[in-house]
Amino acid sequence: VVGTVTLLLILLVLRPSVEWHGLRGQPWWIWLGGIIGALFIGGNVLIVPMVGTGIAVVIVIVGLLCGSLLIDRFGWFGAAKNPVTGIQLVSLLVMVIGIMLIRLS
């Protein structure tokens, strides 16, 4: 709520006249950013006390990497299709193993 009010105030100060009609031609998925952002913040609030800050950050990075590889592979959201390479998968696996090793210690 505090973040929403702050962003609203910044918007009103920096752009006193917002043109909403420009949003009509946009794809439906642009609205997911706010929902995903709220889930991200809420998820971190819940997970950090359980696993610690370091692992929470690494888990977020692994999730972002998985998402970016899927977007590249399938060309979602209008992105160019790029094949996923073996080194990308190995790098992702190394990060997952790192998370498991940190949790075991």
| Tens digit of each residue's pLDDT (9 = 90 or more) over 17-73 | 767 777 777 788 787 888 888 888 899 999 999 988 988 988 889 999 999 999 999
Report the alpha-carbon angle 24-30-34, nearest 5: 120
Contacts of 91 (CB under 8 A, 6+ apart): 65
- 32 conformational bin, left if phi > 0, alpha if psi -120 to 50, beta if neither: alpha
Whole-prediction pTM value?
0.64
Position 77 scores a pLDDT of 84
Q: Is 83 left (phi over 0), alpha (psi -120 to 50) or beta?
A: beta
Positive or negative, the CA dihedral 98, 102, 103, 105 is positive
